[in-house]
Amino acid sequence: DAGVIQSPRHEVTEMGQEVTLRCKPISGHNSLFWYRQTMMRGLELLIYFNNNVPIDDSGMPEDRFSAKMPNASFSTLKIQPSEPRDSAVYFCASTDSGTGGGKPQHFGDGTRLSIL
Amino acid sequence: AQSVTQLDSQVPVFEEAPVELRCNYSSSVSVYLFWYVQYPNQGLQLLLKYLSGSTLVKGINGFEAEFNKSQTSFHLRKPSVHISDTAEYFCAVSDQGTGGFKTIFGAGTRLFVKA
| Residues with Cβ within 8 Å of residue A103, at least 6 apart in sequence | A95, A96, A97, B101
Interchain proximity B96–A42, CB inside 8 Å: no
Interchain proximity A101–B95, CB inside 8 Å: yes
Beta bridge partners of A13: A115
The CA distances from residue A56 to A3, A90, B6, B17, in Å, are 24, 17, 24, 42
- Total residues belonging to chain B: 115
Predicted confidence (pLDDT) per residue in B4-54, tens digit: 999 999 999 999 999 999 999 987 677 889 999 999 989 999 999 998 888
How far is Cα A20 from Cα A7, in angstroms, rounded to an integer?
9
Write down the mean pLDDT value for chain B: 91
pLDDT tens for chain A, 116 residues: list them: 689 999 999 999 999 999 999 999 999 999 999 999 998 888 999 999 989 999 889 999 889 999 999 999 999 999 999 999 999 999 999 998 766 667 889 999 999 999 99
How far is Cα B77 from Cα B63, in angstroms, rounded to an integer?
6
Percent of chain B past pLDDT 70, that is, above it, reads 93
Q: What are the chain A neighbours of B108 within 8 Å (beta carbons)?
A: 42-43
Q: What are the chain B neighbours of A48 within 8 Å (beta carbons)?
A: 100, 102
Q: What's residue B3's pLDDT?
A: 86
Q: Flag whether residue A66 sits within 8 Å of chain B, measured between CB atoms.
A: no
